[in-house]
Structure 1
Amino acid sequence: MNEEQKQQGTGSSGDFEEQLRELLAEDANTIRPAPVAYPAIRRRGAIERRRRVAAAGAALVTLAAMPVGAYALADGDAGGNTVASTPPVLAPPQTSAAPSASSAGPERPATKDQLLDGITFGQAVDGLEKCLAYDQSHAGGPSDFRTDLGAAEDYRIILAMNSIGNSNAPGDGVYVVAVKEQPKQTRLICNVKDGEASGLNTSVGSDDVPGAGPVMADINGGKLYQQSVLDRGNWKLPFRWGVIGTVEPSVARVTVTYGGATSQAALDHGWFVASDVLDQQVTVAPRIKGYDADGKLVYDSDEDEGYEKRLP
C-alpha cells in the first residue's frame, strides 16, 4: 500500500468516526428531556392558588347565607379561621351572583317622609320608568336639540305624592319627582294617571343664578303646590302640596309655611323637599326659610327679590 492509499484510508476512518460521533450526539439530544420550564410551572401554580382563594371566598359567602347552626367560624386567635365539624353541609354549586338590590334601579329618598299618601318606593320607580319611556316615545325635532334623560337607575327619587286634578288637567294621579347630577343636573316632575304617564316636566342644568341665596326654590316646581289659574279661589280641598328646591351645604334646616301651617323640609343630597295638606284657599305662595347649623336665619323667601310671593 503506497503512501497515498494510507492517507486515503486514514481519512476515511476519520470521517467515519466523526459521523459516528455526530449521530451519537443527536441520539443523546433526542433521548435527553428538555429543560424544565420553571416559569410556566410557577405561573400555573399561581393561577391555581388564585382559583383556590376564589373558591374559598365563594364558600364563605355561601356559609354566611346558611343557618347559624350549620357552620361556626373561629375568632382567628388560634392562627386563622377554622370551620367547626358539626355537621358538614355541602353548599350548592355557585353560579353567577344575582345583582344586589342596591346596584340596580333609582336611589331611595333620604327619608321615608318623602314617599307620601301610601305610595311605595316600587310604585314610584314604576312611575319614573313610565315617564322616561313616555319622553322617548314623544321625543320630536332634530336629535341635536333633544336631551336624553337617561335611564331610571341614573336617578334618585326625592318625592312621591298624590296629584289632584283641576280644570286644566282633569283626573287625580301621582306625582314622582326625581333628580340626577351627572352628566348634568337634571330634575323631572312626572305625573302618572290611571297607570300611564300623562305629563312630564324637566329641568336640565343648574338653576343657580348670580346673587342667589343659599336656598333656591325650583323655578318650575309651582305645579306641585298650586292648582290651575282657571280654578283660582275654587281649589279642590283638601289639597296635597309639595315644594322642592336646592340648598347649599351650609344650610342645616329648611322650613316651608303654606296656608298658615309650617312644615319641616327634608334635606336630600343638596335638595330640600317639603309637603303637607292644604285645607283652605290661598293666594300667597309658600314662604321658605333656611337656617345654618347654629340656627341662624340665612334665607327668607320674603326677602328674595327673585321669588314670586303671590300665586298667579
Structure 2
Amino acid sequence: MDAWQGADGEREFAERVRALLTDDALTLQPSMAPYPAIRRRGVAERRRRVAAAGAALVTLAVAPVGAYALGGADRGGEGASPAVSATASRSPVPTASATPSGPSGPATDGQLLDGVTRESAVSMLEDCLGSDLGRGPHQGLGVAGEYRILLAMRSTGDSNSPGNGHFVVAARDDAARTRVICTVKDGEVAGVNSGGVAEGPPDQGPVVPDINALKLYAQSAMDRGNWKLPFRWGSIGLVDPSVARVTVSYGDGETRPAVLDHGWYIATGELDQQVTRAPRIKGYDAAGELVYDSDRDKYYMAELP
C-alpha cells in the first residue's frame, strides 16, 4: 500500500513540475532582436567594404589624356579660346576592371560654353540618361560614368522645340562610338538623341561628320528664313588617327580650328544671320595635305533642309 502511495506521489509531483514548466514557457517570451541596429551596422559595413573596393579599383584606372584646345573667336561676350596644339592626343585603352565613377572630359574648358560648368554638364548628362527618355526608346545607353563629355552649350528654341535651354554632348568609347545629345530646358530633360556614329558606309572618309547632330547647327526647317539670332552652333564628328588637324567654317566664312578630343572633332561658333549651307569641314594629315573636304563627301548634306 505504501509503495502505491509513493508511486502516486511521484506521478503527482511530476505532473505539477510539467504544469509549472508549461506555464513558464507561455509566460516568458524571448526579447526581440535589435533589427534596426543590426541592419544599420550591416549597411555601414557593406558601404565601407564597397568604398574600399572602389578605391582600390580606381587606382588601377588610367587617366585619359587631353587633346587640343578649342580655337576660333566667339562673339556675344565669348573670348578667344587657346590656340590648337600641333599634335593630337589619343585616348588610352580603358582598364577593363575599373568601375566608372563619373564621365570624363572634356579635353578643354573651351568645350563648356555659355556658363555651363563641368559639374552642371555632368548633372545634366546623369539626368538625361536616368530619365524616362533615356531609359525608354534608347535602351542600352548605359550610365554617365561610361561617357566622355565633348560639348556643352546653350540651345535655341524653335517652332519644333520651343524654349531655350542647353545641349550636352557625350560619347562612349565602344565599338559603335555611341553618341548622345541631351537637351535640358528649365531643369527638365526635353530630349535625347542617340546613335552609333561608327555605323557608316564602308567607303567613308577619314573624317565622319555626325549628320544626325543637325540640331546642333541648324534650327527647324519650319523656321527657314526666320531663325532666332544670335544662334550658338556646334559641329561634331569622328576623325581617323591619320588626321592631324580639322577646320570648320560656317556662315561668316571664318575658318575655325576644331578640337581633336579622343577620336572626335568639335567646333563651335555663333551666327548673327541665317544661312542655307551646313558647316564645311576639312581634314589635314600631319604633312598638311588635305585628306577630307565635306564638299566632296557624297554622304554629307551640304545644303540645310
Give the structure-2-normalised TM-score.
0.66
1:119 equivalenced with 2:116 (yes/no): yes
Check whether the contact 2:225–2:274 (CA below 8 A) recurs between aligned residues: yes
Match of 2:297 in 1: 304
CA distance in 2, matches of 1:96, 1:305: 53
Aligned twin of 1:32: none
1:68 is matched with none
1:131 shift after superposition: 0.7
Whichever residue aligns with residue 310 of structure 1, its letter is E
Alignment of 1:70-109 (within 5 A): 96=52, 99=55, 104-109=101-106
Q: Please give the root-mean-square deviation of Cα atoms over the aligned residues, in Å.
A: 2.1
Among 126, 136, 139, the residue aligned to 1:139? 136
Aligned: 1:188 with 2:180: yes
Select which of 169, 179, 187 maps to 2:161: 169
Structure-2 residue corresponding to 1:160: 152
Q: Map 1:205-224; keep pairs closer than 5 Å.
A: 206-224=198-216
Distance 2:114 2:163 in 1: 17
One-letter identity of the residue aligned with 1:173: G
2: CA distance between counterparts of 1:137 and 1:232? 30
Q: Residue 98 and residue 291 in structure 1: after superposition, are their counterparts in 2 closer, same or farther (change >3 A)?
A: same
Distance 1:137 1:202, change over 3 A: closer
Q: 2:242 aligns with which of 236, 250, 260?
A: 250
The alignment status of 1:268 with 2:261, answered yes or no, reads: yes
Distance in structure 2 (CA, Å) of the matches to 1:119 and 1:133: 20
Distance 2:218 2:133 in 1: 28
Q: Deviations over 1:195-248 (max 9, x none)?
A: 110000000362331111100101201110000111101111110000000000
Moved more, 213-222 or 180-189: 180-189
Deviations 1:55-83 (A, max 9, x none): xxxxxxxxxxxxxxxxxxxxxxxxxxxxx
Larger Rg: 1
1:177, 1:124 → 2: CA distance?
9
TM-score by length of 1: 0.64
- C-alpha deviation, 1:104, in angstroms: 2.0
Closer/same/farther in 2, CA of residues 302 and 148 from structure 1, 3 Å limit: same
Partner of 2:232: 240
Residues 172 and 297 of structure 1, relative CA distance in 2, 3 Å threshold: same
Instruction: State the match for 1:292 in structure 2.
Output: 285
1:230 correspondence with 2:222: yes
Query: Using a 3 Å threshold, how does the CA distance of structure 1 residues 283 and 105 change in structure 2: closer, same or farther?
Result: same
SS of the equivalent of 1:203 reads strand
| Per-residue deviation, 1:98 | 8.5
Is the contact between residue 219 and residue 227 of structure 2 (CA under 8 Å) also seen in structure 1? yes
1:111 deviates by 1.6
* Other-structure match for 1:150: 142
Structure 1 vs Structure 2: percent identity of aligned residues?
A: 57
Q: Could you tell me which amino acid in structure 2 is paired with residue 186 of structure 1?
A: T
| Structure 2 partner of 1:128 | 125
Give secondary structure in 1 for the equivalent of 2:157.
Answer: coil
How far the C-alpha of 1:308 sits from its partner, in A, is 0.9
Amino acid at match of 2:299: G
Q: How far, CA to CA, are the matches of 1:263 and 1:237 in structure 2?
A: 20
Gaps of at least 5 residues in structure 1 are: 1-94, 141-145
> Is this contact kept in 1: 2:175–2:198, CA < 8 A?
no
Q: Secondary structure at the match of 2:222?
A: helix
Pair 291,245 (structure 1): closer, same or farther in 2 beyond 3 Å: same
| Structure 1 pair 98–237 and aligned structure 2 pair: CA distance change class (3 A) | same
Q: Tell me, yes or no, if the aligned pair for 2:133 and 2:191 is still in contact at 8 Å.
A: no
